[in-house]
Structure 1
Amino acid sequence: MAPSVKQRKIAILGSRSVGECESWITALHELATQYEHCGLTAPLLTTGKSSLAVQYCEGHFVESYYPTIENTFSHEIVHKGQTFLTEIIDTAGQDEYSLLNSKLYIGIHGYVIVYSVASRQSFDMVRIIRDKLLNHLGADSVPIMIVGNKNDVDPKKQRKISAEEGQALGKELNCGWIETSARNNTNVAKGFELMIAEIEKSQEPDKPAGGGKCSVM
């Protein structure tokens, strides 16, 4: 008999790399439009966490310029023969001084914290967001996957965070880690599957870790 479907809830968090005010959002939209009309690539304004969710759940790439909008997606994930009906909450972006929504502490099984490999600021926010979660939950650890998105950028001109640096942060914070490209659909599904793996490890604390946290270059 096939195992029953399990319910899991995942929250996606990441730096809000643009201002919240309407004038900022409008200006960024106009700037992106100007770049598109000129046949150029728009500046790297966000971490792309919303693009990851859309790529994974809907199968297409979208640019994201609205860091204050929250969306919820549903998707089935199969891990080791077990089907998980997963609710994925794409949260509004965070900054150093913002408070995390209280909903992020209720019924959430795991957290995906996204940074852009082209943004030092978003990378530095990973530790801040993780610490906020642990402090509010009063826990030493929770299931977390750190995702370095936009690994399709020019490695010499745009990349600011090396894969080795990202992997080292994951190891230091005792979190899973992977690099992805929402644009090219690289490692997107793998990232969510590894998130489920981290959650399931936490559900069986007495089971041998089998190699520690998940990490994919």
Structure 2
Amino acid sequence: MPQSKSRKIAILGYRSVGKSSLTIQFVEGQFVDSYDPTIENTFTKLITVNGQEYHLQLVDTAGQDEYSIFPQTYSIDINGYILVYSVTSIKSFEVIKVIHGKLLDMVGKNKESGLSSLFRVISYEEGKALAESWNAAFLESSAKENQTAVDVFRRIILEAEKIDGAASQGKSSCSVM
């Protein structure tokens, strides 16, 4: 097997949308049902995608809002961003649009970029359309139901690898998902 590659991924979104739950589900394989506001946590995990081993460093960030100022550390050595919103919160959906705009301002505009008892207010199609408007990958996930949590992180690796290939040809960019 080739030598493992390191990738750093930042998980961003409004407060209490499941950023930590998604990350912990991926890293530890369990759903944490309690809410404990995150300041910032870093998780690591080894994962193999298409025969290549990756050492992931996942930066689980504090919840952002439309007034948050992004620390410079969110743009240094980050290979990809996962933007998380709750399908039960229009506010969280609106906030990721603001976050996306701030990311573009920060990293450069030329870069590529559990529904059980809750009532869905953002359709799959709305989420997909927003991602398409950003030319970003889209996956809907539920950390609670363990739906596609691993797929989200596999996909960001694949997107970062596509961009890494472009970077080796003289282009520089990161991935937003």
- The residue aligned with 1:202 is 163
**Is 2:161 the counterpart of 1:162?**
no
Cα shift at 1:205: 2.1
TM-score, with structure 1 as normaliser:
0.73
Instruction: Tell me how far apart the structure 1 counterparts of residues 68 and 153 of structure 2 sit (CA, whole Å).
Output: 26
Instruction: Tell me how far apart the structure 2 counterparts of residues 56 and 204 of structure 1 sit (CA, whole Å).
Output: 26
Whether the 8 Å CA contact 1:48–1:63 is kept in 2: the answer is no
Whether the 8 Å CA contact 1:51–1:64 is kept in 2: the answer is no
Select which of 181, 192, 195 maps to 2:142. 181
Cα shift at 1:123: 0.7
Whether the 8 Å CA contact 1:110–1:142 is kept in 2: the answer is no
CA separation of 1:10 and 1:3: change in aligned 2, threshold 3 A? same
Cα RMSD for the two superposed structures: 2.0
Cα shift at 1:194: 0.4
TM-score, with structure 2 as normaliser:
0.89
- The residue aligned with 1:81 is 51
- The residue aligned with 2:102 is 132
Cα shift at 1:200: 0.6
- 1:110-125 equivalent positions in 2, closer than 5 A: 110-125=80-95
- The residue aligned with 1:63 is 33
The alignment-based identity, stated in percent, is: 44
- The residue aligned with 1:8 is 7
Q: Any stretches of 5+ residues in structure 1 without a counterpart?
A: 17-45, 144-149, 208-212
Cα shift at 1:142: 4.2
Cα shift at 1:64: 4.8
Counterpart AA for 2:149:
V
Counterpart AA for 1:137:
V
Cα shift at 1:68: 4.2
User: What is the aligned length?
Assistant: 170
Counterpart AA for 1:204:
G
